[in-house]
Each structure stands twice: as C-alpha cells, then as structure tokens.
Amino acid sequence: MTRDDGPPTAGSRNAAPYTLLAEGYDTVMEHVDYEAWADYVYALLMEHHGAVRSILELGCGTGSLALALQAYGPFAYRGTDGSEAMVKVAQRKARAAKIPVTFTPADFRDLPPLPPVDAVLLLYDGLNYVLEPSEIATLFEQVYRALKPGGLFVFDQSTPLNSLNHPDGFDDAGRTEAFEYLRTSRYDPATHLHTTLFRLGVDGQTFSETHVQRAYELAEIEYLVAHSPLVRVAAYDGFSLDPADASAERIHWVLQKGQAGASAEK
C-alpha cells in the first residue's frame, strides 16, 4: 500500500474506530514516549495529591501509559476503553509483563458504577474525541462521582494550534505485524474538527477507519470547568509546570473533588 493507492476509502470496507487498528496500534504510535508521559503524570499526582493509591484511567487504549505508571506504584489501577479490541491488547500486554492492572471495556461517556478512586486520568487527546461541550460537562459530573473526596482528575486537551502548527504530521504510511496502513488527516479551522482516515491492508483486503476529534480552545474548557462540580487546580502548558495560555498547543489540566490536598487556582 502506498500514498498513490487512491482516495482513503476507495475500494475499502469501513470498520469502527480502533477495531482493526488495535493489533498494530503500538507500532503506529511508537513515536510516543509513554515513559516520559508517565513521569510527568506521576509528578502532577505527587504535586497536587501526594498519596495516590488508586487510579482509574479512561480511554486507556492498549494500556501503555498504565503499564508505565505502575513502575511508580503499585497502584490499584483500572483502565477502561470504549474499544474492546484495544482492551484485549492491553490485557495481553499486562499478562505478558506480569503487571497487575485491570482492563475492562467501557465508554468514558457512560461509565458504569465503580469504586471511588484517588485519581482519574484521561490523556493523549481522549477529551478531544468528545465532540460536544455538553458531553464534556456530563463527563466532568461522572468523574466527580468516580473520585474520592480530594481526588484528582488529570486530563489533557489538544488545541486548534496543535493541528494548525503541525501539518507535516498529518500523513503517514507504514507496516505493522497486523497490517499495512496509510494515514491521512485533515483539519477544518471552521469546525475545529480534525479527521484522520486510516486505510488498512489486512490479509489482502482493505479497510478504512475514520477517527474524528474536536480541537478545543483553552477558553472553552475553562468555561466548562468553571461550571462543573470539580475545582480547578491547574492548567499547564504542554509537559511543563508553566500556566497555559491561548498560545498553548497541548494543555494538561488538574481538577479536584473538593479542596483537600490541593490549593485551587485563584
């Protein structure tokens, strides 16, 4: 499969996002340094809580961050993802590494009742897959219920600048053990929708997965946080401890249930 094979969906069958992609996802995303991301997340948890023992990760994917974070634990750690295929890969990785993490399928926009935890995580653009602000408001309410008093919600958002400033990363092609792939992305500044098409060659057949994210401005999430039951603790620029502003491409948020264990921003 090459870049000259035609339109991303020409002659292909459609598949739901993160179904066929799951088996080769780790190879497609091998450029992501999950250990460094785990270092940063752990630093945020220690800075603003200090006694995290239990973690619920939403949108956990194939479990790479969860397994990396357990090096700082062990934590009572549960990872959930809306894709059963991704969860199966995560479960397989945890068994192979003999790392105690529970992975279960669950859409983070409709979480089942779970025991309250010290921290909830939603990272690597997970929030951007929520396309309506009203659904983010509902998510904040669900996270509030999932946290113990004083517990933290750490999540990130990709802003429009992250798409506008990096068009060189929109297209990619390669091969994994499970499939060949061609990835093409387009960003619409009018709608703030970033659409990625994966064309996957599997056993002589071609399938297409369409992934859609919405890039949110800092002010949009600020408004939703201010009207949520969670308390704003911090919004950091990228992987730093510098306050985020309108020039940020990626923002890491720390919210809290109640005031215990952290000081809210003024």
Q: What is the pLDDT of residue 141?
A: 96
pLDDT of residue 101: 97
The pLDDT value given to residue 160: 98
Q: What is the pLDDT of residue 259?
A: 62
pTM for the predicted model, two decimal places: 0.92
Blockwise average pLDDT, block size 10, the chain, 266 residues: 42 91 97 97 96 97 97 95 98 97 92 92 97 98 97 98 89 95 97 98 95 98 98 98 98 89 43
pLDDT of residue 265: 53
- Give me the pLDDT at residue 150, please: 97
* pLDDT number for residue 128: 98
Residue 9: its pLDDT value, please?
46
Please state, in angstroms and as integers, the Cα–Cα distance from residue 137 to each residue in 72, 109, 152, 240, following that order. Answer: 31, 10, 16, 26
In this prediction, residue 169 carries a pLDDT of 74
Nearest Cα to Cα of residue 66 among 80, 49, 84, 52: 80
Predicted local confidence at residue 108, as pLDDT:
87
3-state secondary structure of 248: coil
Q: Which of 176, 235, 226 is nearest to 201 (CA)?
A: 176
Return the CA Rg of the chain: 18
